[in-house]
Structure 1
């Protein structure tokens, strides 16, 4: 007798989908449940990501749980309402389906009526995925075209900078204009005047922070925020647009040559003369040689300030002895102090050689001292066990809030059906409850995923010993660029104590670092780029491993 097909239902809806297309999680689930009932399929799980974009797997906890269950062999088929519920990008969709196929799990789309258990189904998936991505990209291009045309006519796109706000000028709220917030505008003018008078970015940021000013987002001013204000032509009455393409993916590497810079419809905050003077100074300072520190800083970005917790950066002092000899001392200093000044934090400098020596000695001690390594393993396992109860308690609290919200939804539905509340009030309250419910359901998914990881088998002593030995060997053998790469891959955080000495070193190993950097290389002569030469092979990892030295 044939066993029934074990099906996992996956549903997803983003905030944009709900607003623009009216997609409903309940409608997707109801449709797929009826399909499974009609074709005698057994539903072994329903995985629902609510209010999450399909651009990537980040934050999609239910999808991650589904893929884990596929590896366990408890699923035969994954079914979705539409293939774009699984992923927006074709390459991501193919990657997810490939992961399923490696575990003998087929993928089926209800609306497009194909499944990947057949060759034609795989072909249809790739074609439909490409068509779907083309459709999405066309929409994105049309939106960009509209934004560009709006910018060409002198209208602003996106968030407004310090000094401006938008006000509606018609009853329907379709038209608006940009006006000046005089209190903020005064600050902006002061900032430009300070720079024109010869003050540097850090000096201006330090001054503003000491006086208690904040950015539009409520954070202290930094050299970057001051620079962005000084370089923004909106303050002189112009609209600048299209400096970068695909900022979310390419960041500053997406700079374009099709910059739009036109006169805007909004009022200027600074005069043309002041703007031109500041830009002349900005251009002159950009061609000045930047400070370059000699020496190799192994721990930049890893070692953290004991006062504010920010990453510490390279710094140095240069003094002269009585005989005229130059004495250079190298340090790690608080990055926030260097960027935002003494009102935010202090230098809290630590000698470079002392910090690096302390970290490497701490690693060496853990490798050579069996007692310490066993203590680490015991601590890791106890910590993982200790995490389970708080997570379970929080999960119980989340579930209680979910149940309460469901009861409230039924209560308002009953009141509406009995005509005791109007449609507008009912819609408003239902929207509020659904928003709260989605947040709690997402939190529940994340907690369930964390509990699943924490309830895995205990970490073995052999695994930790092997990983630490390889890490230590590579630190001793490798040239500086590889050592720094390895440090940033495996060291999660280095914390200083009150005496500005290394207090703790947090390490984090995962499957990718173990596979590419701590396992055997192909050969000394023919290595993949970035591989580190080392003989032997470490035990295979099943999950991320974190511990403190």
Structure 2
């Protein structure tokens, strides 16, 4: 019998339990000599956890089993294979037994070629899983204990402003100044995105060499670690590390953040109200920036003239896309009049109206497809129940489950399409209603009504020198 030997060890186990790769391999090879089995290949995973099957040695073993290159798999101990009950049973039942490959564990004296061995494997997998969960629990308890004692947990990314040495956080002088600068800028009225942009433009870097972003700045402003606190599992404890920010500065930042959030919610709850017709939907096609309205006094006409100009040519720093943008400025009344005439022409075009009307034809109700998906899921559940109750082997239902899952995926795609069509139908109804009143609105000279008409029908207007491009909402 040709045997594949599998050995795995983590750094901790190698140091404390004596499960080194070489020790396991030697013992397993001697066992094969006694049994007069030939060793095909030794599959090793040094330093890999048993909680996942994503290990190079394990993946090669699975591939060789499927290629029927070996007749049996031998391990030193059951938990070398996996510490997960689910993964252990998957390997034994769906990989090894499926391809008529025996599984033998030296330490537990298990052999799946016998009925007793197969039954014992299931029981031992339960205890292996229990052991892993107990280890995880002990680690969590240890981290809670560290937090209560005022120590940083030490895992993950070390926060900006500190270095981690000998189990403790130590304030970094250079980065502490950056943290204070961020708080000072925020309290002076700067926004989170503007602070990040400023730091990047000034090439102010931290030890992690990450690009400053909205997320990074916000995390710094919200982290009470900077006033000497330790947070773990939604509980806060007094830390042993030195604070970087004063309590007063930190809590003022929290108050300002809450105030800005409340204001943002109020603004977002209000419908968009632009002062001018194309505000919010008009863009520069040269650099991609928004267009805004400019008022300038004409000495020739002795009155103010309103124009649309590119934000890149303004002094609003955060709106500039390209300071070298050379797009033109456009007479506001002429541009708006042109857009309204395009809308009027469109509303009187039979081909356009027919196309929109065609898109709102009756569609199949998604309810029937949802019912089919539910039936398919119930079929899969019934097959899995039979398998779990021992009434049928997984090999016998595997192909049918694959077919049902493929059918379910197909039905879900069909459902998405139907729901999208239903949404488009509703949108088409609204567009046709707006177009039916377009001429009256345009001729009414009601500027607010014309603004609403324009925003209902147009998604985007782009301007590039003498070219005006309109992207419609349908």
What range describes the TM-score normalised by the shorter chain of this pair? Answer: 0.5 to 0.7
Aligned mates of 1:82, 1:223 — CA distance in 2: 49
Larger relative helix fraction: 2
**1:266 and 2:235 aligned:** no
Query: Aligned equivalents of 2:24 and 2:114: distance in 1?
Result: 24
Equivalent residue in structure 2 for 1:179, among 165, 170, 179: 170
Residues 137 and 222 of structure 1: CA distance in aligned 2, closer, same or farther (over 3 Å): same
1:9 counterpart SS class: strand
For residue 164 of structure 1, what is the aligned residue in structure 2?
A: 162
1:127 match: secondary structure: helix
Q: Counterparts of 2:20 and 2:267 in 1: how far apart (Å)? A: 56
For the structure 1 residues 214 and 123, does the alpha-carbon distance in structure 2 shift closer, same or farther, using more than 3 Å as the test? farther
Aligned twin of 2:138: 142
**Residue correspondence of structure 1 range 68-87 to structure 2 within 5 A:** 68-87=63-82
Q: CA deviation at 1:9?
A: 0.6
Name the Cα RMSD after superposition.
3.8
User: Are 1:67 and 2:39 matched, yes or no?
Assistant: no
Q: Is the 8 Å Cα contact of residues 11 and 48 (structure 1) preserved in structure 2?
A: yes
Give the alignment of 1:90-169 within 5 angstroms. 90-98=85-93, 99-159=95-155, 160-166=158-164
Bigger Rg, structure 1 or 2: 2
* Distance of 2:282 and 2:112 partners within structure 1: 65
Residue 23 and residue 521 in structure 1: after superposition, are their counterparts in 2 closer, same or farther (change >3 A)?
Answer: closer
Secondary structure of the residue aligned to 2:211 is coil
SS for the counterpart of 2:19 is: coil
Given that 1:520 and 1:533 are in contact with CA atoms closer than 8 Å, whether structure 2 keeps it comes out as no
- CA deviations 1:393-434 (Å, max 9, x no partner) are xxxxxxxxxxxxxxxxxxxxxxxxxxxxxxxxxxxxxxxxxx
C-alpha deviation, 1:320, in angstroms: 8.1
Gaps spanning 5+ residues in structure 1: where?
169-175, 243-258, 293-317, 334-340, 347-476, 480-514, 535-549
2:11 is matched with 15
TM-score by length of 2: 0.56
Question: Which ranges in structure 2 are unaligned for 5 or more consecutive residues?
Answer: 289-316, 323-363, 367-398, 416-474
Q: CA deviation at 1:80?
A: 0.6
**Are 2:175 and 2:206, in contact at CA under 8 Å, matched by a contact in 1?**
no
CA spacing shift, 1:71–1:533, aligned 2, 3 Å:
farther
Tell me the residue number matched to 2:250. Answer: 275
Displacement of 1:197: 2.1
The 5 Å alignment of 1:69-468 reads 69-98=64-93, 99-159=95-155, 160-166=158-164, 178-242=169-233, 259-287=234-262, 288-289=264-265, 324=278, 327=281
Cα 1:531/1:319, change in 2 over 3 Å: same
Q: Deviations over 1:260-317 (max 9, x none)?
A: 202222221111111111112333444534999xxxxxxxxxxxxxxxxxxxxxxxxx
Are the aligned partners of 1:237 and 1:263 in contact in 2 as well (CA < 8 Å)? yes
Change (3 A) 1:260 1:120: same
Once the 2 structures are TM-superposed, how far is the Cα of residue 191 of structure 1 from its aligned partner? 1.0
